[in-house]
Homo-oligomer: A and B are copies of this chain.
Amino acid sequence: MNVFETIEAVRRSVRQARAAGKSIGFIPTMGALHAGHLSLLDAARGECGYVVVSLFVNPTQFGPAEDLGSYPRTPEADRAACESHGADAIFAPPVEEMYPRPSLTQVAVPPLARGLCGRSRPEHFPGVCTVVAKLLNIVGPDRAYFGAKDRQQAVIVRRMAEDLNFPVAVVVCPTVREADGLAMSSRNRYLTGAQRVEAAALYGALQRAEGLIRREHPPAETVIEAIREHLAAHAPTGVVDYVEIVDPRELSDVQRTDRPVLIALAVGFGRARLIDNILVD
């Protein structure tokens, strides 16, 4: 497995792989890899001839009051995990390699970034879109893999790739969960023992909402109310950022639940802000 820190080096390796007839799979990550990331790597490994994982904590997608400084960095464990899951290359650039000067250019999908996480994190998705556009141009993959846990990100990135004709397929893989249902996240390690127990209620609430919709198709506000009650009962120290029911593609609020909907929520536990979602179709 190769580890590259420069754009030129990773481009050269991809060029050689292409010349050898291999298709290119790409998993952009911020490191601190967990089983969710590794499921993306496994999927890419099964579908592509040459698999590149990027490890880059992108500063431009963090707001000024967010956890850029404390975001977990585990480069040695990440490297070992990539190697054992069969990655061909890691791209781990220093910040100066990605941003030799500030990017004056912004890529954004404003209509899809207004609700959900975009409401409380206005800088986030423009930062994500811009760095993903950069990484797609650097690596030039045939397929790029994203996790369904970050559903809004996946919907936005796919729309960006389609709108801008990036020659890449955006592949979205299922959320990987702990035994009690908590979605894998690099930020779970911020949780105290007591918070960790409560955090399972996010998925519990989503499952309860899914059951309710499948049985009764109640109005969205009834479902949201049920989710909030579940969270209040089972995660009393959690601070709900949002609970929303939206169209799965447009991410716009819906009232009716007798058609496919996405239920998404964000809850803070101390400095850990956790998100989860479930698609009901």
Cα–Cα, bound, A133→B107 (Å)? 10
B105 touches A107 (CB 8 A): yes
Residues of B within 8 A of A112 (CB): 104
Residues of B within 8 A of A166 (CB): 137
Least CB distance from A120 to B in Å reads: 21
User: Is the C-beta of A164 less than 8 angstroms from some C-beta in chain B?
Assistant: yes
Residues of B within 8 A of A103 (CB): 163-164
User: Is the C-beta of A134 less than 8 angstroms from some C-beta in chain B?
Assistant: yes
B133 touches A164 (CB 8 A): yes
User: Is the C-beta of A165 less than 8 angstroms from some C-beta in chain B?
Assistant: yes
Instruction: Render A159-190 as a binary contact track against B, CB cut-off 8 A, 1 for contact.
Output: 11001111100000000000000000000000
Instruction: Render A109-122 as a binary contact track against B, CB cut-off 8 A, 1 for contact.
Output: 11110000000000
User: Is the C-beta of A16 less than 8 angstroms from some C-beta in chain B?
Assistant: no
A159 touches B11 (CB 8 A): no
Interface size class of A (residues with CB under 8 A): 20 to 34
Cα–Cα, bound, A7→B130 (Å)? 24
Cα–Cα, bound, A7→B167 (Å)? 11
Chain B residue nearest to A105 in the complex (CB): B163
Q: Given B105, B107, B108, which contacts A159 in the complex, CB threshold below 8 Å?
A: B105
Residues of B within 8 A of A165 (CB): 7, 134, 137-138
Cα–Cα, bound, A103→B105 (Å)? 17
Instruction: Render A124-166 as a binary contact track against B, CB cut-off 8 A, 1 for contact.
Output: 0000011001100110100000000000000000011001111
User: Is the C-beta of A74 less than 8 angstroms from some C-beta in chain B?
Assistant: no
Q: Given B105, B108, B129, which contacts A109 in the complex, CB threshold below 8 Å?
A: B105
Q: Given B11, B105, B159, which contacts A164 in the complex, CB threshold below 8 Å?
A: B105
Chain B residue nearest to A99 in the complex (CB): B163
Least CB distance from A56 to B in Å reads: 13
Cα–Cα, bound, A86→B214 (Å)? 63
Least CB distance from A6 to B in Å reads: 12
